Amino acid sequence: MSTTVTRQDARYDTLRKSRNLRWPSSGDEFASEVDLCDSEGDVAEVLQRVVSAGMRPTVRSGGHCYEDFVVNNPNGAIIDLSLLKQGRLPDERAQYTISAGQVLGEVYLDLYKRHGVTIPAGTCYGVGAGGHISGGGYGVLSRLHGLTVDWLSAVNILTVDAHGKVVRRRVSKENDPDLFKACRGAGGGSFGIITSFHCDKLPPAPQEIVEAHISFDWKDMTEARFIQILQTYGHYWETRGKDPDTWGLFAGLGLSHSSSGRLGIGLQFCNPDGTCKDLSVVNEFLDLFQHCKPIAGAANLPGDKKVFHDPKAPKECVGDHEIARHQWLEATIGGGGGGGEARTKYKSCYMKRNFTTDEAKIIYKRLTQEAPGVDLRGFVLSVDSYGGATNKLSLADETSRWQRSSVMKLQYQYYWRNAGEDDARLKWLHDLYADIYSTSNVDPRYTSTPYPGEYYEGCYINYPDADMLKYPFWTGLYYGDQYPFLQGVKRKYDPNNIFHHAMSVRA
């Protein structure tokens, strides 16, 4: 039974919002209603009513969309799937089912306790499965097991046909294979409403993991040392990180502004068999940074994921390095994550190569410069390891997650509270990003962006950045050369463009 929350309802002011407090940007953008659905039948019924009434439906599972794609919906309806939990029940046609309304923490717990398996998804456990998985779904196990969409065998999705009728579909390699492929990585809000994901097979959850942290004090930092840290890190993923015995190693380099104190590296590791019996890979990796004179312990960066720095965790040593050992479920669920509410802005980049000296110099310069009137302590550039199992080239065709050659994935994150600071902070981040992607690495036609080429592989659709819309080639950044295919799927399954947002696939 669905519940419709309208402006008269006391819950409306809470439910109409995004977790990113920048959205909705004004009262004119508020949705008319939020429809809370707790079954696929509910979703179909509500969607039919909304479409027949001429309203625009947008879809929310966890509410973490970085841009305004969901909650800026003037007079429209937000179809909220967060009560849709029936995916936990066994589906007779698939071994494992994940509801679009589950948050990742629930999914991990559910799959682990029922089956001892997991998905290689994200570390923010309050993020909804619907949006996360439809855009690819990656996390700390992705180098070991690939992307979540790589494991899908079927998807339940509601589409709207040319005559405005809601159609319930179960798409797979056999049924509507084009739509199934599109649902495997092209992001949410373009084709229909995904209500559940199905997998015939999933990887076993690791038995245990180890984590470790090193950090570097900005007080002692020099440009040369900064470049050395970045290039040591990048070189590893470009070279040794491609060897399968390292695929269980996931690391994040957090680059904060100098006013924040430290920058740091956090890692999680398990051997391919899900144990931590052999930690030589960890030792080898941490050894690489010894000449950079690290400090033990985490940097405590904005937006940090707790999985990487539980200060109370018991420590042990491997070689010269301090590590903490955890059971996998405890490490995965215990950290929480997903963040509270803040005003935020994000950008992204897939990197195919190590940082060049020019890039590292620009980053250093920007992170050591003050910007008058702008508090830069809320900024962090997360440089996540990538590659490993995510780079199986055959999956670039089988799924719509086309970036399969990258060794690092960058997420630019900026957090603040005061709306009056929006313009200055957004401009600072915009300029930083444009600067970094204006070196000789970038074809002049695509300057200011990490357009796919020798060094870069575009941007992640789950980290959408509407700033990129100003470039006529923005679809190449997010959808690559699969865009024409996706446009065909759009025309076929959503001929009236019912599902749309600023960066959705356009017919």
Partner 1 sequence: MIWSRRRFIQRVGSFSSVGALSVALPFETWAIGEEAGEVNASGSTPRFAYVASSDTDGGHIAVFTVTKERWNLVQTIDSRSPNALVLHPHRDVLYVANQVSEYEGLPCGTVEAFRIDAKSGELSLLKRQRLSLSGTNPSCIAISPDGRSMAVALDGGGAYNLLSLNDDGVPEQVSSIIKETGAGLHPEHQGSARPRFVLFDPMYQNLLSADLGCDRLSVFCVSDGEMVRNQHVNTVSGSGPARLALHPTNDVLYAASELDGSLSSYAYERSTGKIGKHLQRFAYSDASIKALPSHASLIVHPSGKFLYSSLSGSDGVITVWGVQRLTETLSPIQSFKVATKSLRGLHISQDGSELYTLSDVDDTVSRISIDKNSGELGSTRRQVEVIGATSIALKYT
Positions in the binding site for partner 1 (CB under 8 A): 28, 51, 53-56, 74-76, 160, 162-164, 466, 469-471, 474, 491, 495-498, 500-502, 506
> Which of 263, 477 has the CB closer to partner 1?
477
Query: Is the CB of residue 265 less than 8 Å from the CB of residue 233?
Result: yes
> Which of 44, 466 has the CB closer to partner 1?
466
> Which of 112, 471 has the CB closer to partner 1?
471
Cα(472)–Cα(60) distance, rounded to whole angstroms?
28
> Which of 367, 477 has the CB closer to partner 1?
477
Report in angstroms how near the CB of residue 467 gets to partner 1 at its nearest: 9
User: Cα torsion for 232, 235, 240, 244, to the nearest 10°?
Assistant: 110
Report in angstroms how near the CB of residue 164 gets to partner 1 at its nearest: 3
Report in angstroms how near the CB of residue 487 gets to partner 1 at its nearest: 13
Cα(355)–Cα(352) distance, rounded to whole angstroms?
9
Report in angstroms how near the CB of residue 472 gets to partner 1 at its nearest: 8
Cα(95)–Cα(409) distance, rounded to whole angstroms?
31
Report in angstroms how near the CB of residue 502 gets to partner 1 at its nearest: 5
- The phi, psi pair for 162, rounded to 5°, reads -60, -30
> Which of 50, 149 has the CB closer to partner 1?
50
For residue 33, what are its two tokens?
């209603």
The Cα angle at residue 471 between residues 470 and 473, in degrees rounded to 5? 145
For residue 388, what are its two tokens?
């490993």
Q: CB pairs under 8 A, 24+ apart, for 241-245?
A: 241/143, 241/385, 241/387, 241/388, 241/407, 242/387, 242/388, 242/407, 244/272, 244/388, 245/271, 245/272, 245/281
Q: Which amino acid is at 73?
A: N
> Which of 28, 220 has the CB closer to partner 1?
28
Report in angstroms how near the CB of residue 53 gets to partner 1 at its nearest: 8
> Which of 29, 398 has the CB closer to partner 1?
29
Report in angstroms how near the CB of residue 165 gets to partner 1 at its nearest: 8
